[in-house]
Amino acid sequence: MATKADESRKYQVVHISNEQLKKITTKRRHQMEDAVSTLIRVVRVPLAVLSVIQNLLIVIVVLRYPTLKKNVSNLLIAQLGFADFIFGVGLCIRIAITEVHISTGMFTFESFECLCYGSVTILGVHLSQTTMLMIAVDRLFCIRFPHHYRTMQKSGFSWIRVCISVIYSLVGTGAQFIHTEAGRSVYSCSAGASWNVYYRIYWVLFAAVLSFFICGLYLISIPPLRRSSADSFIRCHRSAVITMTTIIISYCIFWCLPNFTYFLCVLFNAEHSILGGAIYFMSLGSGLFAVLNLYLYIWKHREFRYCFLNMFTCGPIRRSAADCSGVGVFKPIHPVSV
Protein backbone atom coordinates (compact mmCIF):
# COMPACT_ATOMS: atom_id res chain seq x y z
CA MET A 1 0.00 0.00 0.00
CA ALA A 2 1.51 3.31 -1.13
CA THR A 3 2.21 5.86 1.55
CA LYS A 4 1.76 9.61 1.28
CA ALA A 5 5.55 10.00 0.99
CA ASP A 6 5.62 7.66 -2.04
CA GLU A 7 2.80 9.57 -3.73
CA SER A 8 4.56 12.87 -3.05
CA ARG A 9 7.81 11.51 -4.45
CA LYS A 10 5.97 10.22 -7.56
CA TYR A 11 4.32 13.61 -8.12
CA GLN A 12 7.67 15.34 -7.72
CA VAL A 13 9.28 13.06 -10.32
CA VAL A 14 6.45 13.69 -12.80
CA HIS A 15 6.59 17.43 -12.10
CA ILE A 16 10.35 17.53 -12.68
CA SER A 17 9.99 15.50 -15.87
CA ASN A 18 7.39 17.93 -17.22
CA GLU A 19 9.61 20.89 -16.43
CA GLN A 20 12.56 19.24 -18.15
CA LEU A 21 10.42 18.40 -21.17
CA LYS A 22 9.27 22.02 -21.36
CA LYS A 23 12.86 23.26 -21.24
CA ILE A 24 13.93 20.80 -23.94
CA THR A 25 11.01 21.80 -26.17
CA THR A 26 11.74 25.50 -25.69
CA LYS A 27 15.42 24.97 -26.42
CA ARG A 28 14.69 23.07 -29.62
CA ARG A 29 12.21 25.72 -30.74
CA HIS A 30 14.81 28.44 -30.22
CA GLN A 31 17.38 26.38 -32.12
CA MET A 32 14.98 25.99 -35.03
CA GLU A 33 14.17 29.71 -35.01
CA ASP A 34 17.89 30.53 -34.98
CA ALA A 35 18.49 28.16 -37.91
CA VAL A 36 15.69 29.69 -39.97
CA SER A 37 16.83 33.20 -39.08
CA THR A 38 20.41 32.37 -40.10
CA LEU A 39 19.22 30.89 -43.40
CA ILE A 40 17.19 34.01 -44.21
CA ARG A 41 20.15 36.22 -43.29
CA VAL A 42 22.42 34.30 -45.66
CA VAL A 43 19.93 34.26 -48.54
CA ARG A 44 19.09 37.96 -48.23
CA VAL A 45 22.68 39.07 -48.92
CA PRO A 46 22.88 38.01 -52.61
CA LEU A 47 19.27 39.07 -53.14
CA ALA A 48 20.02 42.58 -51.88
CA VAL A 49 23.15 42.90 -54.01
CA LEU A 50 21.41 41.59 -57.15
CA SER A 51 18.41 43.83 -56.57
CA VAL A 52 20.60 46.92 -56.31
CA ILE A 53 22.82 46.14 -59.31
CA GLN A 54 20.33 44.84 -61.85
CA ASN A 55 17.58 47.36 -61.10
CA LEU A 56 20.09 50.18 -61.37
CA LEU A 57 21.04 48.78 -64.79
CA ILE A 58 17.36 48.80 -65.78
CA VAL A 59 17.07 52.51 -65.03
CA ILE A 60 20.33 53.31 -66.84
CA VAL A 61 19.38 51.39 -70.00
CA VAL A 62 15.90 52.94 -70.27
CA LEU A 63 17.24 56.46 -69.74
CA ARG A 64 20.23 55.84 -72.01
CA TYR A 65 18.33 55.04 -75.24
CA PRO A 66 15.85 57.54 -76.76
CA THR A 67 14.03 54.66 -78.50
CA LEU A 68 13.00 53.31 -75.11
CA LYS A 69 12.13 56.68 -73.59
CA LYS A 70 9.61 57.40 -76.36
CA ASN A 71 7.22 54.83 -74.90
CA VAL A 72 5.77 55.79 -71.51
CA SER A 73 5.33 52.09 -70.70
CA ASN A 74 9.10 51.77 -70.76
CA LEU A 75 9.28 54.68 -68.32
CA LEU A 76 7.02 52.67 -66.02
CA ILE A 77 9.56 49.86 -66.21
CA ALA A 78 12.30 52.34 -65.28
CA GLN A 79 10.10 53.53 -62.41
CA LEU A 80 9.72 49.95 -61.21
CA GLY A 81 13.47 49.42 -61.49
CA PHE A 82 14.07 52.55 -59.39
CA ALA A 83 11.56 51.34 -56.77
CA ASP A 84 13.22 47.94 -56.51
CA PHE A 85 16.62 49.66 -56.38
CA ILE A 86 15.41 51.63 -53.33
CA PHE A 87 14.14 48.40 -51.80
CA GLY A 88 17.51 46.73 -52.41
CA VAL A 89 19.34 49.61 -50.73
CA GLY A 90 17.00 49.35 -47.76
CA LEU A 91 17.58 45.61 -47.59
CA CYS A 92 21.35 46.18 -47.55
CA ILE A 93 20.91 48.65 -44.67
CA ARG A 94 18.78 46.14 -42.78
CA ILE A 95 21.35 43.38 -43.32
CA ALA A 96 24.20 45.58 -42.08
CA ILE A 97 22.27 46.66 -38.96
CA THR A 98 21.31 43.06 -38.18
CA GLU A 99 24.91 41.87 -38.40
CA VAL A 100 26.06 44.73 -36.15
CA HIS A 101 23.46 43.79 -33.53
CA ILE A 102 24.48 40.13 -33.64
CA SER A 103 28.19 40.91 -33.39
CA THR A 104 27.66 43.25 -30.41
CA GLY A 105 25.26 40.87 -28.65
CA MET A 106 22.27 43.24 -28.58
CA PHE A 107 18.93 41.57 -27.88
CA THR A 108 16.79 44.54 -26.81
CA PHE A 109 16.09 47.46 -29.14
CA GLU A 110 14.12 50.70 -29.23
CA SER A 111 11.16 50.56 -31.59
CA PHE A 112 11.78 54.07 -33.00
CA GLU A 113 15.33 53.19 -34.05
CA CYS A 114 14.15 49.97 -35.68
CA LEU A 115 11.51 51.90 -37.63
CA CYS A 116 14.22 54.26 -38.87
CA TYR A 117 16.41 51.35 -39.96
CA GLY A 118 13.57 49.78 -41.94
CA SER A 119 12.06 52.97 -43.39
CA VAL A 120 14.01 52.73 -46.66
CA THR A 121 12.80 49.17 -47.21
CA ILE A 122 9.19 50.16 -46.47
CA LEU A 123 9.53 53.09 -48.88
CA GLY A 124 10.82 50.73 -51.57
CA VAL A 125 7.90 48.36 -51.03
CA HIS A 126 5.39 51.22 -51.35
CA LEU A 127 7.06 52.48 -54.53
CA SER A 128 7.23 49.00 -56.03
CA GLN A 129 3.63 48.04 -55.28
CA THR A 130 2.11 51.33 -56.47
CA THR A 131 4.18 51.11 -59.66
CA MET A 132 3.04 47.54 -60.26
CA LEU A 133 -0.55 48.70 -59.90
CA MET A 134 0.10 51.41 -62.50
CA ILE A 135 1.66 48.84 -64.83
CA ALA A 136 -1.39 46.59 -64.44
CA VAL A 137 -3.69 49.54 -65.28
CA ASP A 138 -1.43 50.42 -68.22
CA ARG A 139 -1.70 46.85 -69.58
CA LEU A 140 -5.47 46.87 -69.20
CA PHE A 141 -5.85 50.10 -71.19
CA CYS A 142 -3.32 48.91 -73.76
CA ILE A 143 -5.22 45.69 -74.46
CA ARG A 144 -8.87 46.64 -74.00
CA PHE A 145 -8.83 50.32 -75.03
CA PRO A 146 -5.98 50.66 -77.58
CA HIS A 147 -7.34 53.84 -79.21
CA HIS A 148 -7.64 55.70 -75.90
CA TYR A 149 -4.29 54.27 -74.85
CA ARG A 150 -2.51 56.09 -77.70
CA THR A 151 -3.71 59.42 -76.35
CA MET A 152 -2.08 58.59 -73.01
CA GLN A 153 1.38 58.20 -74.58
CA LYS A 154 2.67 61.53 -73.34
CA SER A 155 5.67 62.17 -71.12
CA GLY A 156 3.63 64.54 -68.95
CA PHE A 157 1.27 61.72 -68.04
CA SER A 158 4.19 59.53 -66.98
CA TRP A 159 5.46 62.26 -64.65
CA ILE A 160 2.01 62.51 -63.07
CA ARG A 161 2.15 58.78 -62.31
CA VAL A 162 5.62 59.15 -60.82
CA CYS A 163 4.48 62.00 -58.56
CA ILE A 164 1.42 60.05 -57.37
CA SER A 165 3.55 57.01 -56.55
CA VAL A 166 6.26 59.01 -54.76
CA ILE A 167 3.86 61.16 -52.71
CA TYR A 168 1.75 58.23 -51.57
CA SER A 169 4.85 56.16 -50.76
CA LEU A 170 6.35 58.95 -48.65
CA VAL A 171 3.09 59.45 -46.76
CA GLY A 172 2.60 55.71 -46.27
CA THR A 173 6.17 55.29 -45.01
CA GLY A 174 6.02 58.29 -42.69
CA ALA A 175 2.73 57.13 -41.17
CA GLN A 176 4.52 54.33 -39.32
CA PHE A 177 6.04 56.92 -36.96
CA ILE A 178 2.62 58.23 -35.85
CA HIS A 179 1.71 57.23 -32.28
CA THR A 180 5.05 55.47 -31.83
CA GLU A 181 5.72 55.04 -28.13
CA ALA A 182 8.98 56.67 -27.10
CA GLY A 183 11.38 54.29 -25.41
CA ARG A 184 9.31 51.16 -26.13
CA SER A 185 11.57 48.11 -26.24
CA VAL A 186 11.25 45.23 -28.70
CA TYR A 187 13.12 41.95 -28.87
CA SER A 188 13.22 41.78 -32.67
CA CYS A 189 14.56 44.84 -34.46
CA SER A 190 12.25 44.75 -37.45
CA ALA A 191 9.55 47.04 -38.74
CA GLY A 192 6.82 44.46 -38.19
CA ALA A 193 7.69 44.06 -34.52
CA SER A 194 8.00 47.83 -34.00
CA TRP A 195 4.78 48.99 -35.67
CA ASN A 196 1.83 50.06 -33.57
CA VAL A 197 -1.48 48.26 -33.97
CA TYR A 198 -2.92 50.93 -36.30
CA TYR A 199 -0.09 50.70 -38.79
CA ARG A 200 -0.26 46.91 -38.74
CA ILE A 201 -3.92 47.16 -39.74
CA TYR A 202 -2.99 49.67 -42.45
CA TRP A 203 -0.27 47.39 -43.80
CA VAL A 204 -2.64 44.43 -43.99
CA LEU A 205 -5.22 46.55 -45.83
CA PHE A 206 -2.55 48.06 -48.10
CA ALA A 207 -1.21 44.64 -49.08
CA ALA A 208 -4.67 43.08 -49.48
CA VAL A 209 -6.18 45.88 -51.59
CA LEU A 210 -3.19 46.22 -53.91
CA SER A 211 -2.88 42.45 -54.30
CA PHE A 212 -6.58 42.22 -55.19
CA PHE A 213 -6.41 44.97 -57.81
CA ILE A 214 -3.08 43.94 -59.35
CA CYS A 215 -4.05 40.28 -59.76
CA GLY A 216 -7.58 41.24 -60.84
CA LEU A 217 -6.42 43.68 -63.52
CA TYR A 218 -4.01 41.14 -64.99
CA LEU A 219 -6.70 38.45 -64.98
CA ILE A 220 -9.08 40.81 -66.78
CA SER A 221 -6.40 41.62 -69.37
CA ILE A 222 -5.65 38.01 -70.32
CA PRO A 223 -8.98 36.83 -71.92
CA PRO A 224 -8.93 39.35 -74.84
CA LEU A 225 -5.46 38.13 -75.76
CA ARG A 226 -6.54 34.51 -75.69
CA ARG A 227 -9.59 35.22 -77.87
CA SER A 228 -7.66 37.15 -80.49
CA SER A 229 -7.37 35.18 -83.75
CA ALA A 230 -5.28 37.43 -85.99
CA ASP A 231 -2.49 35.25 -87.41
CA SER A 232 0.14 37.98 -87.33
CA PHE A 233 -0.43 38.53 -83.62
CA ILE A 234 -0.92 34.96 -82.34
CA ARG A 235 2.71 34.40 -81.36
CA CYS A 236 3.01 37.78 -79.63
CA HIS A 237 -0.32 37.32 -77.84
CA ARG A 238 0.72 33.89 -76.62
CA SER A 239 3.94 35.40 -75.28
CA ALA A 240 1.94 38.14 -73.53
CA VAL A 241 -0.37 35.58 -71.91
CA ILE A 242 2.60 33.56 -70.67
CA THR A 243 4.28 36.69 -69.31
CA MET A 244 1.17 37.90 -67.47
CA THR A 245 0.43 34.44 -66.06
CA THR A 246 4.01 34.18 -64.80
CA ILE A 247 3.71 37.62 -63.19
CA ILE A 248 0.51 36.64 -61.38
CA ILE A 249 1.93 33.33 -60.10
CA SER A 250 5.19 34.93 -58.95
CA TYR A 251 3.33 37.82 -57.34
CA CYS A 252 1.07 35.45 -55.40
CA ILE A 253 4.02 33.37 -54.19
CA PHE A 254 6.51 36.10 -53.31
CA TRP A 255 4.17 38.90 -52.19
CA CYS A 256 0.69 37.63 -51.34
CA LEU A 257 1.78 34.53 -49.38
CA PRO A 258 4.24 36.35 -47.04
CA ASN A 259 1.73 39.13 -46.42
CA PHE A 260 -1.02 36.61 -45.72
CA THR A 261 1.31 35.04 -43.15
CA TYR A 262 1.79 38.45 -41.53
CA PHE A 263 -2.00 38.96 -41.58
CA LEU A 264 -2.47 35.72 -39.63
CA CYS A 265 0.15 36.84 -37.09
CA VAL A 266 -1.68 40.15 -36.59
CA LEU A 267 -5.07 38.43 -36.44
CA PHE A 268 -4.00 36.02 -33.70
CA ASN A 269 -1.99 38.68 -31.82
CA ALA A 270 1.33 36.88 -32.18
CA GLU A 271 4.41 37.73 -30.13
CA HIS A 272 6.84 40.40 -31.29
CA SER A 273 9.45 37.78 -32.18
CA ILE A 274 6.96 35.98 -34.44
CA LEU A 275 5.91 39.27 -36.04
CA GLY A 276 9.57 40.03 -36.68
CA GLY A 277 9.99 36.62 -38.30
CA ALA A 278 6.97 37.28 -40.51
CA ILE A 279 8.54 40.55 -41.63
CA TYR A 280 11.79 38.71 -42.43
CA PHE A 281 9.72 36.32 -44.54
CA MET A 282 8.08 39.29 -46.29
CA SER A 283 11.44 40.93 -46.99
CA LEU A 284 12.76 37.67 -48.40
CA GLY A 285 9.76 37.31 -50.71
CA SER A 286 9.96 40.95 -51.79
CA GLY A 287 13.68 40.56 -52.44
CA LEU A 288 13.10 37.52 -54.65
CA PHE A 289 10.39 39.34 -56.58
CA ALA A 290 12.60 42.43 -56.98
CA VAL A 291 15.27 40.22 -58.54
CA LEU A 292 12.75 38.45 -60.80
CA ASN A 293 11.33 41.74 -62.11
CA LEU A 294 14.15 41.96 -64.67
CA TYR A 295 13.01 38.70 -66.22
CA LEU A 296 9.26 38.98 -65.67
CA TYR A 297 8.75 42.50 -67.02
CA ILE A 298 11.68 43.08 -69.33
CA TRP A 299 13.43 40.02 -70.64
CA LYS A 300 10.36 39.12 -72.73
CA HIS A 301 10.58 42.63 -74.23
CA ARG A 302 12.87 42.20 -77.24
CA GLU A 303 13.52 45.88 -77.83
CA PHE A 304 14.80 46.36 -74.31
CA ARG A 305 16.80 43.14 -74.49
CA TYR A 306 18.65 44.30 -77.60
CA CYS A 307 19.30 47.72 -76.06
CA PHE A 308 20.55 46.06 -72.88
CA LEU A 309 22.93 43.75 -74.77
CA ASN A 310 24.10 46.45 -77.17
CA MET A 311 24.89 48.80 -74.31
CA PHE A 312 27.38 46.34 -72.83
CA THR A 313 28.69 45.01 -76.14
CA CYS A 314 29.06 48.47 -77.76
CA GLY A 315 27.04 47.36 -80.79
CA PRO A 316 24.34 49.20 -82.73
CA ILE A 317 20.69 48.89 -81.77
CA ARG A 318 18.93 46.32 -83.92
CA ARG A 319 15.82 47.95 -85.33
CA SER A 320 14.53 44.61 -86.61
CA ALA A 321 13.66 43.68 -83.05
CA ALA A 322 10.73 46.06 -83.08
CA ASP A 323 8.47 43.83 -85.19
CA CYS A 324 7.20 42.06 -82.09
CA SER A 325 8.97 44.11 -79.44
CA GLY A 326 5.99 44.55 -77.20
CA VAL A 327 2.76 43.85 -79.04
CA GLY A 328 0.21 43.16 -76.38
CA VAL A 329 2.87 43.60 -73.71
CA PHE A 330 4.41 47.06 -74.05
CA LYS A 331 2.60 48.59 -77.04
CA PRO A 332 -1.08 48.95 -77.94
CA ILE A 333 -2.50 46.12 -80.03
CA HIS A 334 -5.24 46.26 -82.62
CA PRO A 335 -8.82 46.48 -81.34
CA VAL A 336 -10.03 43.19 -79.91
CA SER A 337 -13.69 42.31 -79.72
CA VAL A 338 -14.59 41.75 -76.07
Check pLDDT > 70 for residue 64: yes
Q: What is residue 65's DSSP assignment?
A: -
Alpha-carbon gap, residue 295 to 246, rounded angstroms:
10
β-pairing, 109-110 vs 185-186, is antiparallel
Three-state helix/strand/coil letters over 294-330: HHHHHCCCHHHHHHHHHHHHCCCCCHHHHHHCCECCC
Q: Whole-angstrom Cα distance, residue 332 to residue 117?
A: 42
Q: What count of other Cβ atoms lies within 10 Å of the Cβ of residue 41?
A: 15
Task: Specify the 3-state DSSP secondary structure of 66.
Answer: helix
Q: Using 50, 70 and 90 to split pLDDT, how confident is the model at 335? A: very low
pLDDT in tens, 219-277: 887 777 666 545 444 555 566 666 667 777 888 888 888 888 888 887 887 776 676 67
Superfamily of segment(s) 42-324: Rhodopsin 7-helix transmembrane proteins (1.20.1070.10)
3-class DSSP state of 316? coil
- Tens of pLDDT along 96-111? 888 888 788 777 888 8
Q: How confident is the model at residue 314 (pLDDT cuts 50, 70, 90)?
A: low
Rounded CA gap, 186 and 175, in Å?
19
Q: Report phi then psi at 106, rounded to 5.
A: -85, 130
The domain locations on the chain are 42-324
Task: Write the pLDDT tens digit of every residue in 264-312.
Answer: 887 887 776 676 677 777 878 888 888 887 677 666 677 777 777 777 7
pTM of the predicted model as reported, rounded to 2 decimal places: 0.76
CA distance 209 to 197: 18
